[in-house]
Structure 1
Amino acid sequence: MTAAAVQAQSVDASVVEAIADWCDALHGDLPLEDAFAALAAGLGAEAGMLVRTHFSDFRPMRIAVWDRNGARSASPLATSFADGRFGPHIARPRAASVWLHSHADDAADVDPALEAWQARRGLAELAVLVLSGGPGMRDHIELHFRAALGPPTQAALGAVLPTMARTWANRQVGLVTRMVVNHRAAAEPAPARPVPAMILSPSNPARLSRAEFRVCLLLSRGLSVTGVSDELAVSEATVRSHLRSIFSKTETSGLAELVFALLRSKPDASAQSGLRCA
């Protein structure tokens, strides 16, 4: 049986369940690594990577990686190939778009690193699924296949990608930051750093106001800015005004870093109880 035939038989059976797990993982109900692995396998891929690229330096950051035979291979998937293969064309792509190595017109510009890795692994196709395309960064999935994608797999990608991109846009705050940090921690020895102050501890080390404290607590529970606005019955502009003050007091550079700091220093039950009584 050809690799294309295997793809055609395997996609429909598991992709629906994998998309459901993907949605759950983006809301923090399942490990994202596991959901991504199920999704890539369900689509018939041999390996895949979930990647964030900032347009300021175009240096890809791994969010999640899955490789069916990576543990047994001398060349496991460890590199993003999207920019090397598609160059400036994919710099700021449309969300929910699919880019196929085999369909690109500029075959003469194929990345030698991609060709060499595909040859070592016996792979032939790279599919890039764009989850978001701007303004300051791109999030995408790279999937590697043994053969060029047949119509069933292409149809499956076209059917599920809009849902994937939509749920990605509404993912839990801080999810990507946590995953990127976890990958860095696994790959590199962590330098000695002071233990961060517990922002939401009863001593209130950042000297947050009562309103700012409540905003931080709701963010630590996974609410978005809109969710915080609804919970506190204030406008999003008011929440963002609080956030600017919070960033300054906590010495964080933005929302993602703040949420990560909050998740690393969650308050205990007594602190949360005190907040509810405030």
Structure 2
Amino acid sequence: MQRAYFEELCGSPVAPSFLESKVIEAIADWCDALHGDLSLKDAFGALANGLGASAGMLVRTHLSDLRPIRIAVWDQLDTRSCLPLRVSYADGYFGRHLARPRPASVWLASAHDSEGDADPALETWQARRGMVDFAVLVLGSGPTTRDHIELHFGGRVSEAMQSSLSVILPTMSRTWASRQVGLVTRTVVNHRAAQDTGQVQPGQRALLGATNPARLSRAEFRVCLLLSRGLSAMGVANELAVSESTVRSHLRSIYAKTETSGLAELVVNLLRTKLEASAMSELRCA
């Protein structure tokens, strides 16, 4: 039944051995979720798992400042474990090549010449998690935003998997374009509400403390310090006498090290830890 549904979505028959049944079922669930019949978070998790990924993220990126917003995240590891997937590495790795991608296109790290484009934050995360390859599946790209899926793998993506992705992605992109109105906003809000448990996450602990728990470089530390004082990214660039693109490069590395999804979350964490440090100082004085 699921295969017939998938073939109807694709508009053509699918060879029985071409896609595993769990992938076909996951795509069918994905399509149902886009129309509000299932949880998008659960459907995305089943899809990432079915495609053999170790972790995955559904992301909307604002192209004006390359600010990523996590729509849904799935990770084989328990979220309390070391280094779960918390940030998008797509723009940090592919850079300008991903600025205006074609919808339904597949961007594979192992097939991309990363000379000069290597993202140290990604390399560190991959090494500590035992990841080898990752793929970006473009769902949609407009004048102001880009929606994509990012999948991370423990081994190189095989040719068979690449073929599978090329078959299913046009259907995924087409159904994404016809998704239920308000689905992305609702999912993001629910995701943030679920995360807001009142507990301080690792990336929120005294980011500007003397112990430098996030292992920020001197330049990254100065960027965070200026942001905590209320400066914008452009203001930071002017203060440090560097280009805004240099500040953006520092920010991408800071997001990875502090496990934050973007500038807004980073600033909130900086201000929160700054206030907590101030409160602790007052308590000690009292």
- CA drift at 1:136: 1.3
Relative distance call for 1:162 and 1:112 in structure 2 (3 A) is same
Pairwise CA distance, 1:109: 1.7
Q: In the alignment, what sits opposite 2:48?
A: 40
Which of 139, 150, 165 is 2:158 aligned to? 150
User: Match of 2:79, SS?
Assistant: helix
Q: Deviations over 1:176-228 (max 9, x none)?
A: 001112223334479xxxxxxxxxxxxxxxxxxxxxxxxxxxxxxxxxxxxxx
C-alpha separation between the residues in 1 aligned to 2:69 and 2:192?
9
8 Å CA contact 1:10, 1:42 repeated in 2: no
CA distance in 2, matches of 1:170, 1:140: 15
Aligned 8 A contact 2:18 2:164 in 1: no
1:33-91 CA-to-partner distances (Å, cap 9, x unmatched) read 11001100110000000000111221100000000113363100100000000001101
Structure-2-length-normalised TM-score: 0.61
Write out aligned runs for 1:1-278 (5 A). Answer: 12-71=20-79, 73-188=81-196
CA contact (8 A) 1:70 1:77 kept: no
Distance 1:188 1:152 in 2: 40
Stretches of 4+ aligned residues off by more than 3 angstroms: 186-190
Q: Which amino acid aligns with 1:49?
A: M
**Change in 2 beyond 3 A, CA 1:68/1:129:** same
Q: Look up the match of 2:3.
A: none
Q: Distance in 2 between matches of 1:30 and 1:102?
A: 33
Tell me the TM-score normalized by structure 1: 0.62
2: CA distance between counterparts of 1:145 and 1:70? 16
Q: Which residues of structure 2 form unaligned runs of 5+?
A: 1-16, 199-286
Which structure is larger by alpha-carbon Rg, 1 or 2?
1
Q: Percent identity?
A: 65
Show structure 1 runs of 5+ residues with no match. 1-8, 191-278
Contact 1:52 1:61 in 2 (8 A): yes
Aligned CA distance change for structure 1 residues 69 and 52 (closer, same or farther; 3 Å): same
Q: 1:85 to 1:11 in 2, by over 3 A?
A: farther
Contact 2:93–2:114, Cα closer than 8 Å, also in 1: no
The CA distance in 1 between the partners of 2:75 and 2:65, in whole Å, is 27
Partner secondary structure for residue 66 of structure 1: strand
